[in-house]
């Protein structure tokens, strides 16, 4: 496999916590959003794992993730209800005590004080974090995010509400992840092909995958293989050198387009986007 799917920055796992995902009530748009941000930042996302609201299972997933990835980002389970237990699960996985974080408590208190709400055990729970964690201010909601550095690894816990998750990631996580390791430049092109079945394009994709260590190529069927084939061939890659990913992706995408035109001169309609 080309190296494109490895990474200049390291590997990442995304953990999504919540029964609502496992009963199909909610589509996991959070994971897709995070996967895209992490990819653009230069991290290779190797797993997305969805787990139920069960402390022992979340802890097990954190252990698996920390055993394999450089960066672990979780969403969900930071709120005030009894099944919000991501903070306790992470503490267990790290072997650290879960305790009220003074800075986090101040953040939570301030949010509620603004409208005259007193503190309650449920609100205080949102300030419980593994010892040594750094709370990440939540500009949209009340539960702070959690950042823990464990050796060279980073764990970030974000709320499940998309607007809160995105705001904390963009303000506090992205700058940190960007600053680690070398710079990263990402590029992509799409070759759209009408009139040729994916099974006939497969040999071209196979050749294209060997052209550059930086570039990955994958075909996505959008029409009907036999009767009305339409393909989107996604060509993408990253590099730490400015311009390199762009020129390599350009070169591979041009090869794919040209090779398909050449192989199927009468059938293929090829468009390079």
Segment 22-61, which members bind its own copies (CB under 8 A)?
22-29, 31-39, 44-54, 57
What is the size of the binding site for its own copies (CB under 8 A)? 74
Q: Which residues pair with 135 in a beta bridge?
A: 146
Structure tokens given for 45: 């996302």
Pairing mode, strands 230-239 and 215-221: antiparallel
Span of 175-183, 204-212, 245-253, 262-270 interacting with its own copies by CB under 8 A: 204-212
Q: Which x/- pattern, by CB under 8 A, does the window 241-260 give for its own copies?
A: --------------------
In the complex, least distance from residue 164 CB atom to its own copies, rounded to whole angstroms: 9
In the complex, least distance from residue 235 CB atom to its own copies, rounded to whole angstroms: 12
Pairing mode, strands 145-150 and 153-158: antiparallel
Tell me which residue has tokens 């080309």. Answer: 2
Q: Which residues pair with 157 in a beta bridge?
A: 74, 146
Nearer to its own copies, 25 or 95 (CB): 25
Residue (of 260, 272, 270, 246) closest to 205 by Cα position: 260
Nearer to its own copies, 35 or 254 (CB): 35
* Residues 67-106 contacting its own copies, CB under 8 A: 79-83
Span of 88-96, 99-107, 212-220, 257-265 interacting with its own copies by CB under 8 A: 212-220
Nearer to its own copies, 140 or 170 (CB): 140
- DSSP-derived secondary structure letter, 5: G
Nearer to its own copies, 213 or 224 (CB): 224
Largest CA distance in the chain: 74
Nearer to its own copies, 102 or 115 (CB): 115
* Residues 99-138 contacting its own copies, CB under 8 A: 111-112, 114-115, 117, 120, 122-123, 126
Number of helical H runs and strand E runs in the chain = 10, 12
If binding is defined by CB under 8 A, does position 140 make contact with its own copies?
Answer: yes
Residue (of 44, 19, 45, 29) closest to 238 by Cα position: 44
Residue 142 CA, distance from chain mean position: 23
* Residues 170-189 contacting its own copies, CB under 8 A: none
Alpha carbons 258 and 157: distance in angstroms, whole number: 45
Nearer to its own copies, 148 or 257 (CB): 257
First to last CA, the chain: 24
Select the residue interacting with its own copies from 63, 185, 194, 209 (CB under 8 A): 209
Select the residue interacting with its own copies from 234, 241, 251, 267 (CB under 8 A): 234
Residue (of 226, 220, 223) closest to 190 by Cα position: 220
Residue (of 241, 196, 189) closest to 217 by Cα position: 189
In the complex, least distance from residue 43 CB atom to its own copies, rounded to whole angstroms: 10
């Amino acid at each position: 496999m080309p190296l494109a799917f490895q990474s200049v920055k390291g590997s990442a796992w995304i953990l999504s916590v919540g029964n609502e995902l496992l009963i199909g009530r909610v589509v996991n748009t959070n994971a897709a959003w995070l996967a895209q941000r992490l990819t653009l930042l230069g991290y290779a996302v190797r797993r997305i794992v969805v787990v139920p609201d069960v402390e022992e299972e979340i802890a097990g997933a954190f252990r698996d993730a920390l055993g394999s990835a450089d960066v672990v980002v979780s969403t969900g389970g930071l709120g005030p209800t009894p099944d919000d237990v991501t903070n306790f699960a992470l503490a267990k996985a790290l072997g650290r005590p879960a305790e009220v974080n003074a800075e986090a408590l101040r953040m939570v208190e301030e949010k509620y004080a603004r409208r005259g709400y007193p503190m309650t055990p449920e609100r205080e729970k949102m300030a419980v974090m593994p010892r040594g964690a750094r709370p990440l201010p939540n500009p949209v909601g009340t539960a702070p995010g959690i950042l823990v550095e464990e050796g060279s690894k980073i764990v970030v816990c974000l709320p499940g509400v998309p607007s809160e998750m995105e705001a904390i990631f963009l303000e506090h996580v992205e700058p940190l992840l960007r600053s680690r390791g070398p710079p990263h430049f990402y590029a992509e092109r799409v070759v759209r092909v009408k009139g040729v079945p994916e099974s006939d394009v497969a040999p071209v994709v196979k050749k294209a995958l060997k052209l550059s260590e930086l570039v990955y190529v994958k075909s996505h069927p959008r029409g009907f293989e036999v009767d009305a084939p339409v393909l989107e061939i996604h060509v993408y890659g990253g590099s730490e050198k400015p311009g390199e990913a762009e020129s390599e992706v350009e070169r591979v995408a041009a090869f794919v387009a040209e090779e398909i035109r050449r192989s199927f001169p009468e059938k293929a309609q090829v468009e390079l986007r």
